[in-house]
Amino acid sequence: MQVAPDSATQNQAGEPTSKVVLTSEVKWEPLNPARGDKSPMAGTLWGDRKGSVPTGFLVKFVDGFSSPPHIHNVSYRGVVISGLIHNDDPNAADMWMPAGSFWTQPKGEVHITAANGSSNVAYIEIEKGPYLVLPSEEAFDSGKRPVNVDISNLVWLDASNISWIDQSGIPVSAVGPKVAFLWGSPQDSLLNGALVKLPAGFTGKINSHGSAFRAVVIKGLLKYLKSEKNVKTLGPGSYFSSEEESVHQVSSATGEECIIYVRSEGRFNVTID
């Protein structure tokens, strides 16, 4: 497996294509240029939010940011990486979602987005672009409704609940990896999204068995290993991916758990070294 910042690589032996993007390598630009310096900043991790393809990007909000009521032409999913994010109907009471929380915003529905914290960053994902911000006067009903899930309300499953985690070889009492399914149809090996929680000091592999695998670090520090001499430290907002069946060798820092958002076209599983 090859690891290269800002580029996908594949060796002559036909090993799976993989990519790593560190947060420090993300290129930022206004999310909504029409708002000038009042616009949040956006940094694309994969895809092209100005094109027609599925895309994942980071959004950065200043402390105290609050958007005017607006709609989007496409639906999106969001995961809070840092700070506190509120996303809801303009008349709704504040629901400040901390890091690891998940929400969806259907296209055409009027809403506001606000941020509260010294560093407010979220990961946003769309299935089709371009991603546009439009006035509330253009609202329409897509038939879908928004979802806001605080991280404290997520259901985490471990090796005793699902076969996606292989915890053989360590004591039953030990704290192992956990998965919280967010959307899609993982049981049918179709496109799906989940959060993976790696305990402090974890060393192991994330094995992708589908056609595409994309992952964004949400919390903690993740070491991504190609070899002993080629190790990348991925902080929150960093990204790694692969095409076709592949293996990602990873470890988490001692004393701090790591949470990763995974978008997988097919099944994946976590194994412990």
Which tens digit of pLDDT belongs to each residue from 146-155? 999 999 999 9
CA distance 224 to 258: 12
Supply the pLDDT for residue 159: 75
Supply the pLDDT for residue 4: 32
Supply the pLDDT for residue 234: 97
CA distance 93 to 98: 16
- Residue 184 tokens, joined: 């899609």
H-run or E-run covering 219 = strand 212-219
Contact 187, 177 (CB under 8 A): no
Supply the pLDDT for residue 174: 57
CA distances from 107 to 73, 129, 140, 238, 269 (A): 5, 12, 8, 27, 32
CA distance 194 to 54: 17
Supply the pLDDT for residue 218: 98
Supply the pLDDT for residue 17: 65
What's the gap between Cα 26 and its chain centre? 15
Domains and CATH numbers, the chain: 18-22+154-272 (2.60.120.10), 31-150 (2.60.120.10)
Low-confidence ranges of the chain (pLDDT < 70): 1-17, 167-174, 187-188, 227
CA distance 18 to 9: 6
CA distance 256 to 273: 18
